[in-house]
């Protein structure tokens, strides 16, 4: 009987972890975290970029509906270029459609519209629209008219405005652009630095008339 009890006790003892095994597990977890933690911000930003691309395609669909309804593209520049989807009643004025008028990567509280008690009132009228209420830049129709929409060329119509905190813009590494064709492209900061378009100390791509990229000069922040 005593022998049987001793064997059971010995068996239970072997079922536990030794100090060396616990330390080995901690070491493995530490190594994995070293590799994975730096990639978490990249993964989050990649998801935001994907959401931004999808959102811009929704705006393209809206602008196509506008063209069908009025037989022309919007006449206003900047944010007014796409905010007219609501003010001209191509889209119903709801929170769902209002959210499409800004990059999903940018927190609403960081925009002027986030301070308005009833933001839907802003979208109802183009008179009060300005660049501070959206995180996108729209086509500068006044200086760069669109003669073909939807078109087959690389004519930019909406892009991340990259104002943000003045350093990183809408996304950490990428500027997303919607073209008149409905295609969505990107400009990578690292790639533009490598080409010498922007210097190594600049970590965002300016959009608007002063942009170092010709395509993005056709957009307006106002």
32 pLDDT higher than 90? no
Distance (Å, rounded) from C-alpha 113 to C-alpha 106?
Answer: 12
Mean pLDDT of the chain: 84
Distance (Å, rounded) from C-alpha 189 to C-alpha 172?
Answer: 9
Q: What are the start-end ranges of the H helices in 15-111?
A: 19-36, 39-70, 79-87, 95-99
188-204 average pLDDT score = 90
Calculate the dihedral angle through the C-alpha atoms of 30, 172, 85, 79, rounding to the nearest 10 degrees: 150
Q: Determine the 3-state secondary structure of 136 from DSSP.
A: strand
Least confident span in 4-8, 76-80, 116-120, 208-212: 4-8
In this prediction, residue 37 has a pLDDT band, given cuts at 50, 70 and 90, of: low
Q: Determine the 3-state secondary structure of 173 from DSSP.
A: coil
Question: How much is the pTM?
Answer: 0.80
Q: Which residue has the higher pLDDT, 34 or 164?
A: 34
Q: Which residue has the higher pLDDT, 5 or 204?
A: 204
pLDDT tens-digit map of 59-81: 999 999 999 999 999 999 999 99
In this prediction, residue 108 has a pLDDT band, given cuts at 50, 70 and 90, of: confident
- What residues does each domain of the chain span? 43-220
Q: Which helix (H) or strand (E) holds 72?
A: none
């Amino acid at each position: 009987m005593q022998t049987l009890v001793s064997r059971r006790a010995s068996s239970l003892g072997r079922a536990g972890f030794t100090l060396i095994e616990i330390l080995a597990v901690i070491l493995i977890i530490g190594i994995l975290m070293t590799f994975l933690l730096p990639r978490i911000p990249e993964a989050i930003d990649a998801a935001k970029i994907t959401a931004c691309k999808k959102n811009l395609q929704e705006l393209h669909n809206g602008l196509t509906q506008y063209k069908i309804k009025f037989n022309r593209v919007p006449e206003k520049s900047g944010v007014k270029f796409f905010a007219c989807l609501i003010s001209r009643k191509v889209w119903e004025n709801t929170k769902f459609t209002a959210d499409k008028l800004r990059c999903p990567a940018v927190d609403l509280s960081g925009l002027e519209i986030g301070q308005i008690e009833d933001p839907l009132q802003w979208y109802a009228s183009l008179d009060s629209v300005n660049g501070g209420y959206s995180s996108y830049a729209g086509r500068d129709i006044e200086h760069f008219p669109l003669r073909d929409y939807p078109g087959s060329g690389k004519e930019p119509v909406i892009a991340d405005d990259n104002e943000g905190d003045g350093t990183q813009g809408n996304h950490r590494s990428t500027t997303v652009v919607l073209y008149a064709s409905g295609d969505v492209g990107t400009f990578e900061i690292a790639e533009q630095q490598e080409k010498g378009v922007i210097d190594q100390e600049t970590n965002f791509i300016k959009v608007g008339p002063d942009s170092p990229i010709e395509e993005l000069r056709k957009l307006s922040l106002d």
